[in-house]
Amino acid sequence: MIIAIVLILSLIINIGKTTVINAVAFSMNGGNLLYSPFASEFNNYSLNNNLNITLNLNLFSSLNATSLVTDYETMLESLFQKKSNKYDLIFYDNIYSTKFGPYLLDLKKIIPEDHLDMYLSGVAQQTCFYKDELVGLPMVIDFDVLYINKEKLRTYNRTIPETWDELITTSQYILNEELKLNNTNFVPYNGLFSTLEVGICSLYEFIYSFRKSKESPFPEITSQEVVDALYKMKEMKEKIGSDIIFKSNEDFTAKKFSDSNFLFLKYWYLPVLTKTLDISPLPGIKKGISGSVIGGHNIGINMYSNIQKRNAVIEAFKFLTSKEMHKKYIAKNNYLTPISSLYDEDEVCKVVNCDFFKSIQLIGRPVTKSDDYIKYADNFKKNVYEFLYGNK
């Protein structure tokens, strides 16, 4: 009897009680400007609809998680290992879908199919699966483009290259002209073939741009396409680059952006940079073929999240990954949205260049080739760089 009363009482108390759910994210990445407005939108929506759910955003910055992304990931890993329910919604770099997959809920079991279908025809296929479980949905997609110094192109009356050979010819010509003017710091091209994580991105997309047709998959490692790609890379280093320039990392790119003494630079697509610089898809072996590696973040649900909060968590998850939020904050803000159908909507195409976003040919990194992606990537880079920078 007493137990029954207590149960009924607690039921009554729980009605109207606010459920607090916690999301965790790292501020030093491409989505950093979006997390807070997303959370704020949800809380307004919750308030206006009497959902009684509050979403708390725990945003780690470089101050409290130190500057390297891996520290954020290390923190997540240790929470998962402790089966912690501290955070319900987890934003994580999509290269970690395999690593964190075992600790994230399979969305196919809890999120309605029509919601997931918005994503499953697109890039989510490449970045959100752990075995056959869907362990996240993509938020912003980061990708690489060719940044172009249009003043120089105009000065020398040249056009934007669509193939690697065109890029070499144009670069060689303008480099020579600039040297005649004693411009010894001029950099005609850099593709970030560095030893850092960006190196594997550069290698993967470069090789992908050598596939036979737009529809072909990533070439087999032992294929002629890979051999051709590696020789072209070396030819480019010899004709329009150097070991020092090719090995440099993003700091060097930032320096060239600020001194403007360059022609072409491969770098992550950032809407803010496109205000002053021209961009185009990266060239390929022939016109119409290109490649751009996939970066960015997923949002997943912690499998240790308190089951009593489950409905609230699902509610928030659906809101944050809704088409409306993607349209308002991602597509219309000139970011690449993983909901590709948005690029068929007039409302979006009135404000952004839908054809450009549709033309990007995305390729995922080899994150599922091994249990230890970082080790696999290091090995891959080492083998290619022995050829590129060695005497072979």
Ligand X SMILES: *[C@@H]1O[C@H](CO)[C@@H](O)[C@H](O)[C@H]1NC(C)=O
* Binding residues for ligand X (CB under 6 A): 16, 37, 40-41, 44, 50-52, 58-61, 63-64, 157, 181-182
Nearest approach, Cβ of residue 61 and ligand X (Å):
5
HSE of 338 in the Cβ direction (CA atoms, 13 Å)?
Answer: 30
Nearest approach, Cβ of residue 319 and ligand X (Å):
12
Which amino acid does the sequence have at 67?
S
Q: Please, which residue, 44 or 276, has the CB nearer to ligand X?
A: 44
> Which tokens sit at 148?
């172009």
Of the candidates 284, 379, 252, the one whose C-alpha atom is nearest the C-alpha of residue 243 is 252
How many C-beta atoms lie closer than 10 Å to residue 63's C-beta?
Answer: 8
Nearest approach, Cβ of residue 199 and ligand X (Å):
30
Nearest approach, Cβ of residue 288 and ligand X (Å):
21
Q: Please, which residue, 226 or 314, has the CB nearer to ligand X?
A: 314
Q: Please, which residue, 43 or 334, has the CB nearer to ligand X?
A: 43
How many C-beta atoms lie closer than 10 Å to residue 319's C-beta?
Answer: 18
Q: Please, which residue, 37 or 102, has the CB nearer to ligand X?
A: 37
> Which tokens sit at 371?
């249990």
Of the candidates 374, 289, 318, 390, the one whose C-alpha atom is nearest the C-alpha of residue 46 is 318
Q: Please, which residue, 53 or 342, has the CB nearer to ligand X?
A: 53
Residue number of the CB atom closest to ligand X: 16
- Angle, helices 224-240 vs 164-180, to 10°: value is 10
The answer to whether 268 and 336 are in contact (CB under 8 A) is: no
Nearest approach, Cβ of residue 27 and ligand X (Å):
8
* CB within 8 Å of 26: residues ≥ 6 apart: 59, 60, 61, 65, 69, 72, 91
How far is CA 123 from its chain centroid?
Answer: 10
What stretch of H or E contains 361?
none
Q: Please, which residue, 49 or 379, has the CB nearer to ligand X?
A: 49
Nearest approach, Cβ of residue 8 and ligand X (Å):
17
Q: Please, which residue, 51 or 198, has the CB nearer to ligand X?
A: 51
The answer to whether 211 and 286 are in contact (CB under 8 A) is: no
Q: What is the distance between the alpha carbons of residues 131 and 267, in angstroms, rounded to a whole number?
A: 31
The answer to whether 56 and 23 are in contact (CB under 8 A) is: yes
> Which tokens sit at 191?
């593709």
Nearest approach, Cβ of residue 306 and ligand X (Å):
17
Nearest approach, Cβ of residue 324 and ligand X (Å):
12
* CB within 8 Å of 93: residues ≥ 6 apart: 29, 69, 73, 295, 296, 297, 298
> Which strands sit side by side in the sheet containing 137-142, from one edge to the other?
53-60, 19-26, 89-93, 295-301, 137-142
Nearest approach, Cβ of residue 209 and ligand X (Å):
25
Q: Please, which residue, 13 or 244, has the CB nearer to ligand X?
A: 13
Q: Please, which residue, 16 or 390, has the CB nearer to ligand X?
A: 16
